Amino acid sequence: MAVESPLSGTELAVVVLGLGNLLRRDEGLGIRALQRLEERYQLPDTLQLVDGGTLGLDLICYLENAPRLLVLDAALTEGPPGTLTRLIGEDVPIFFSKRTSMHEVGLADMLAVTRLRGTEPGELVVLGMQPDIIELGWELSDVVEAHLDNLVDAAIAELERWGVVITQK
């Protein structure tokens, strides 16, 4: 079953889901990366960008039957702030079983629900970055801001690996 975009009516090839809480500084880096992707690149109609915030199970409709799902998120990598990690398939629920924030619990739960329903994404990749400051505030930390383009570049590389044609604005 193909995922249909509610906006364009075209068959989707990829859903890009940005997760995080913009009110907790680096916690919102997945959404900031998604925004930067949209601002800087011309994206095809077969790609759907979703600002998932911290909605958890309310986002399941975007995951079910998605041919390819790319998730951008803050992730505890045990490296210095700005360190990138790439998780695929079965590694994703294992990594996020640490339950370090509410939206991570939601991601693991959503994947479990899709598996139970037989509607899991065809291909799943999570690109995460080690945060520096997770506290109340609006701006990213200096170190995460300095590395955010690396996350966006990794997302572009992943999308191109999947055959998505992307051009800079």
**Percent with pLDDT over 70 in the chain:** 85
The one-letter amino acid at 65: N
Digit-coded pLDDT (tens) for 83-135: 999 999 878 766 765 545 444 457 778 888 899 999 999 999 999 999 999 99
Residue 4 has pLDDT above 90, yes or no: no
CA torsion through residues 164, 108, 141, 147, sign: negative
Q: Looking at residue 98, what is its pLDDT?
A: 57
Q: 88-106 burial, b for 16+ CB within 10 Å, e for fewer?
A: eeeebbebbeeeebebbbb
Second-level CATH architecture of 14-162? 3-Layer(aba) Sandwich (3.40)
List the beta bridge partners of residue 128: 73, 85
Q: What is the pLDDT of residues 74-84, one digit of tens each?
A: 998 889 999 99
Cα–Cα distance between 44 and 62 in angstroms, integer?
17
Mean predicted lDDT score pLDDT of the chain: 87
